[in-house]
Structure 1
Amino acid sequence: MTEPERPAVTTPDQLFVQLQGETVKMLSLDMNLLSIGRTPDNGLSLPHPSIAIRHAEVRRQEEGFVITDLGNAETYLAGRKLAPHQPQVLAEGALVQVGPYVLAYLAGGQAPAPPDKVDALPVLADFRPVRLPPARPRLPAPRAEGHASAYLDFLPNLYTESEFLGRYLMIFQSIWEPLQHRQDHLPMYFAPATAPQALLGYMAAWLGLELDPHWPEARQRLWLREAMHLLRWRGTRYGLMRAIELGCGVSAQVIEDPKLPFSVTVIMPDPGEGEDGSGDVTRQSAEQLIARHLPAHVQYQLRFV
């Protein structure tokens, strides 16, 4: 008698994560939604400064899995930049580039033997500098111009015949117009990207994240923009790494030894040998930054390379 045929074993769709040509992680797409981003709370965490907190997502739909860029415009599918919030179907063998990582999609039943699975993606050891955004252009309040005040348009025509009155009202217009302009754009004074530089320190102090006065303006704005994100992850390994990236401008390594509880080792480039040569970060300021973002019961050892 012939044995009954056994049902074929099908494997779910798989996503291989490659870094510098080597597969460092394999995920089985047995979920309906996979979030991709820099923080550890994503389904696929990719620890790199160029990757956003919520960078992209892979969602299961009737036609298959689709990938969507979440407004970063730095996700590439087959070498083509994806438009934000525009889902794209993942074809068999599709390659998605997110920062330095390449995600290879393979449909179920056709995937090769999975590589050795690792618990977490490796921390990059190249100590890349974090590029600062360009300086914000200055946008001062417009001043009153002309030989006659625009306030004459709100008076009866009788008063427009007086040249002296037009020049006299120009004095009040030059004082009140900047104030009116500020009131009309008041939310911009409390946004990290558009607030006056003099207000950045006050806004950071409100949140308990003081700014270093020696930082360039672009770094202060970047620090303030991610203030709530830093507070959310404060006291964690990722929170310390992100604080060093923002405050010192370089990626660092944070090593935890299970044999030495409540102790970490931080490895970062020597500030005196930075590529930008800005000189706004010193060894003392780096130590102060690390001490502020570590739990009080945790000791640390700082090593410069």
Structure 2
Amino acid sequence: MPRSAAPGLPTPQPIADQLPGVLAEDDFTRRFTQALDEVLAPVLLALDGFVAYLDPALAPPDFLDWLAGWVALPIQDQWTVEQRRILVAHAVELHRWRGTRHGLATHLRLLTGGQVTVADKGGTIASVQSTDPVGQPVSPHVTITVTVRNPSLLDESRLRAAAAEHVPAHVPFTLRIEQSRELP
């Protein structure tokens, strides 16, 4: 049931209490304003609590998805509500570091709660003298290692899709999921 259709919501400011004395005594006017109160109560209550809608920790799940779109954060439906809350709360940081090793590691760490290591070959070629032959270019490749207590709880395809959002399109990557050596 949508929040606006919840029956019996109390109105925070009854209209009848704000009427001048002459109108407040009229039975028809009181009943009419009570009907308006019933219609306006969900709207007024939503406006009174609107700040909670903008807080990822408090927003209702359906509004959280809209909030993620508002901050230009692609959210997969398969992520849990808690994972989505964490990602939306860190959206600015994720955008700031997008396309970097730090951004990739942060994104996957927020999703898994584990330790993330990103190994990058680089791809920069240098020579001592400007006349020296450059040598063979190094093909770029990224190895991502996610270490968690219980790897069976992770969906590798979802993690792979999340990693693909941060790794440049021309760079292949390998995703490894390992179990933490610490006792659970």
TM-score by length of 2: 0.69
2:107 equivalent to 1:243: yes
Match among 292, 299, 302 for residue 165 of structure 2? 292
Change (3 A) 1:163 1:144: farther
**Residues 234 and 293, structure 1, Cα contact 8 Å, conserved in 2:** yes
**Residues 270 and 283, structure 1, Cα contact 8 Å, conserved in 2:** no
Change (3 A) 1:157 1:297: same
User: Residue 254 of structure 1: CA displacement?
Assistant: 1.3
Secondary structure of the 1:175 match is helix
- Which residue in 2 is equivalent to 1:144? 10
Change (3 A) 1:270 1:287: farther
Alignment RMSD = 3.2
1:181-225 deviation line (CA, Å, top 9, x unaligned) = 333454543342333321222332344421121222222111011
Unpaired runs of 5+ residues, structure 2, are 1-5, 124-137, 179-184
- Which residue in 2 is equivalent to 1:253? 117
Pairwise mapping of residues 1-305 of structure 1 onto structure 2 (< 5 A)? 143-144=9-10, 150-162=14-26, 165-257=29-121, 262-269=140-147, 273-274=150-151, 279=153, 281-305=154-178
Structure 2 letter corresponding to 1:232: R
User: Residue 238 of structure 1: CA displacement?
Assistant: 1.0
User: Residue 179 of structure 1: CA displacement?
Assistant: 1.3
**Residues 16 and 34, structure 2, Cα contact 8 Å, conserved in 1:** no
Structure 2 letter corresponding to 1:262: P
Greater relative contact order, per chain length (Cα 8 Å cut-off, separation 6+): 2
**Residues 115 and 148, structure 2, Cα contact 8 Å, conserved in 1:** no
Relative to its length, the structure with more helix (as a share) is 2
Structure 2 letter corresponding to 1:291: A
User: Residue 250 of structure 1: CA displacement?
Assistant: 1.9
User: Residue 154 of structure 1: CA displacement?
Assistant: 2.3
Unpaired runs of 5+ residues, structure 1, are 1-139
Change (3 A) 1:201 1:155: closer
Structure-2 separation of matches of 1:213 and 1:230: 19
Structure-1 separation of matches of 2:34 and 2:105: 55
**Residues 144 and 170, structure 1, Cα contact 8 Å, conserved in 2:** no
Which deviates more from structure 2 when the two are superposed, residues 260-269 or residues 224-233? 260-269
How many residue pairs match? The answer is: 158
Structure-2 separation of matches of 1:177 and 1:206: 26
User: Residue 270 of structure 1: CA displacement?
Assistant: 7.2
Structure-1 separation of matches of 2:165 and 2:94: 12
Structure-2 separation of matches of 1:237 and 1:289: 13
Structure-2 separation of matches of 1:221 and 1:188: 13
Structure-1 separation of matches of 2:104 and 2:43: 42
TM-score by length of 1: 0.44
Structure 2 letter corresponding to 1:293: H
Change (3 A) 1:304 1:199: same
Relative to its length, the structure with more strand (as a share) is 1
